[in-house]
Structures are given as C-alpha cells and as structure tokens.
Amino acid sequence: MAESRKCPKKAVFFSLAVLLTLLFSFFSGYFFHAYFSNQENNFPILSQAYQIIKNYALFQLPESSQLEYGMIRGMLQASGDPYAVFLEPVQQELSSNNLEGTFGGIGVEIDRSQENYFLLIPFPNSPAELSGILAGDRLLKVDELIITNDTSLETIQAALRGPVGELVQLVIGRSPTYQPQILRIRREAIQIPSILKYLESNHPQIGVIQINLFAKSTPEEVLNAVLDLQGRGASRFILDLRNNGGGLLEPGIDTARLFLNSGIVLQQQYRGQALQSYSVEEPGPLADLQFVVLINQNTASAAEIVAGAIKAQKRAELIGTPTFGKDTIQLVFDLSDRSSIRVTAAQWWIPGLDPPIGNNGVQPDILIPADAPGTDPAFQAAVSAHLRDLGN
C-alpha cells in the first residue's frame, strides 16, 4: 500500500499562498470599491443615470469601451471646444499615418463593388502586385479579421497596415469561382504624398503645386516639386492651398520658411506659458520664386499660417476667397487603448497681418467669389496673373 506523507515545508508554503490570495482578494475589492465610490462622488448624476439605464432601459448598453467613447465625446462637446476631437484606435492609427507621410503596408487601394464586396486594386510594383494580387480580387480575410459587408473601410485599412518587414496574411477570392486563396505578403514602407505637382497643360512654363495636407514630409516634398518642375521648364508657380484643412504645425511653419527671406512667421501662446515666436533664420531656398497662392473658405489652420505669412511679408498675391479663420492649436493626447483626444491648447497669430485671422480668415489680394462663373475662375485668374508678368 502506498503511503502519503505531508511535508512540513509544503504545508507552510500552501498556507502562505492561501493567505496571500485572501489578502489580494480583500484589497482588490477594497480599492475597486474606493475607486468606484470616488467616481460616484465626482460625477453623482452620471452615476445615477448609468444605473437607471442599466436597470430599466429596454435596449442594452453597449460594451464598456463603446460606452466610455460615448462619454468622452459628450465631455468634449460639453467643453465648448469646437475643434476638440476624439478618435477611436483605428481612426487614430490612420490619422497618424497620414501626418507621418508613410506607413507599413502592401500598397493597395480598396474599392467596393455593387454587390457590396471589398475589392483590391494593387499599386504598380507594390508588394501586393508582386505577390500576385490582381485588380478586382475580393478581400475575404486579413489575418484574423473576417471581412463582411458590415466591416468598415477604416478597420480593413488598419488591419492591412503594420510594422515594415512583418508578414500579413490575406485570403482573397478571384473571378470567376472566387475560391479562397491564401497570400502572405511582407509589408514595406508606403509613402503618402501630401502634394500634387504638374505643369499647366496650356502653359507649361507655369508649375502647379497643390498641397493637400501638412505632414512631416511636406516641406521637402514642396522643395523637390519646385526643383523638378523647374527642370521641366517651369519659371512661374501656383501654390494651391484650397481645401487644405491643415495638419501639423511645424511642417506648416517650415513650408512658409521656404518662401521667405526674414521676419517672424508666427507667434503662439499656450495657457500660462510664455509667448513663443517662430522666425526665419536665413533666406529660404525658394525666397526668390515667382508664384501666386490660391486660397478658399476651406483653407484652414496650418494652411492659413503659410498663406498668412506670405501675405504679411508681401511675398506673393493671394487669389480666391477669405480662408476659414482658425487661429488655434490642438494637442493630441494618446489614450491607453491607442485612441486619442485632441483639445485646443494654444492660440497663434501672424505679426503684421491685417486683419487678424481669427473671425476674418486670411483675405485674398484678388477676390474671386466662390460662385463666379466659368471653370475654376480662381485658377484661371492665377494663370492670367502669370501670363501678364511674362508678357503673354
């Protein structure tokens, strides 16, 4: 018969483990209760409303994260900050990619068919094309994400993106059978251009640079675009800032510096902090460039900094309609689940700009009403201004 004998050391260890478990449970409950009670004291009406909805509402509350997101949106709305924004994790990731100007991906555009399927269109020479993806392939799965009609485009884009060099597994279906095929694709750095450049079709001596967003890469993109277009024969330029809602502050300031010889680009002040000034330390590489600037009511924030600094220093004519009039700075704070909130934290102004941007916007030198007749009359006015100077 086998015998069972107790080891004194094991018994002591077991007793200590039980005691520690009991103490942990007690203090966890105590601190949770203290935390919840503190929240009730801070927001008693919110706590009361939550309990009523939880106990009596016919419709169930969403999961806790969605409930928190709703509360955050409500707080931002109640703050009275018109530019405060809450971004869920997927939205924050895509926004960060745009402002960085690059992301780890496979180089593919996503379209939606009439039957509500998500279709892939690979970029030329991209990892997607080189792996065998064809235009029109249906996307069925990305890693563990099963694609359905209800899957949002943002969710799919975020799933396809990730660290450069890592593999992502796709399941696709191809016409005519749409049998599932598995592809493993290694992500590469995909650039997101913040500008569009081209020569004016009827007057190739005029180069056009359209800035869509101010990302980290924008100043370098603008400089390279000018040099490229000059190499192709452009001697005059149109800087198109229409429908540019802004982006990052410092790339906006650095873009303005490209065109200026000296002076202060911008001054700003955060609550309770000293005044900050951003100056031109040396003439910019485009300080002698001949150009005009297009603006409209959707030119805002960092785009207004560029337009305003150029106008204040009389570097170029502004053509179009008054800009949006946003003279504040938002700070982005990342939350623990990779969502983020953006809150207004500072105000800025451009010395010498009259009238100030706030409530006025940057005023054009040549006003072209938004409802003026013709095909893009503001652009045609910019072309005409250059042609006059060129004697054409």
Q: Which residue from 243, 242, 235 is spatially nearest to 199, judged by alpha carbons?
A: 235
Contact 258, 239 (CB under 8 A): no
Average confidence (pLDDT) over 295-307:
97
The model carries a pTM of 0.80
Q: Residues near 34 by Cβ (< 8 Å), separated by ≥ 6?
A: none
In the chain, % of residues over pLDDT 70: 89
- Please give the Cα distance from 251 to 221 (Å, whole number): 11
SS3 47: helix
Could you give the residue ranges of the DSSP H alpha helices within the chain?
8-42, 44-56, 64-78, 89-100, 127-130, 153-160, 218-231, 249-259, 302-312, 377-390
Dihedral sign (CA 317, 322, 324, 329): positive
The fold for domain 103-190 equals Pdz3 Domain (2.30.42)
Which of 24-33, 128-137, 207-216, 306-315 bottoms out in mean pLDDT, i.e. has the lowest?
A: 24-33
Distance of CA 190 to the CA centre of its chain: 16
More confident residue, 64 or 17: 64
Distance of CA 110 to the CA centre of its chain: 19
Could you report the per-residue pLDDT of 308-321, keeping only the tens digit for each?
Answer: 999 999 999 999 99
Say what the pLDDT of residue 26 is: 41
CATH 3.90.226.10, domain 195-329+345-390, yes or no = yes
Bridge partners, 277 (sequence order) = 267
Say what the pLDDT of residue 242 is: 98
The band of 33, judged by pLDDT with boundaries at 50, 70 and 90, is very low
The boundaries of every CATH 3.90.226.10 domain in the chain are 195-329+345-390
Say what the pLDDT of residue 159 is: 95
Contact 172, 133 (CB under 8 A): yes
Tokens of 383: 């072309």
Average confidence (pLDDT) over 336-365:
94
SS3 58: coil
pLDDT at residue 84 tops 90:
yes
pLDDT at residue 206 tops 60:
yes
**Per-state percent for the chain, helix, strand, coil, to nearest 5:** 35, 25, 40
57: phi then psi, degrees, rounded to nearest 5: -65, 140
Say what the pLDDT of residue 216 is: 95
Contact 280, 321 (CB under 8 A): no
The boundaries of every CATH 2.30.42.10 domain in the chain are 103-190
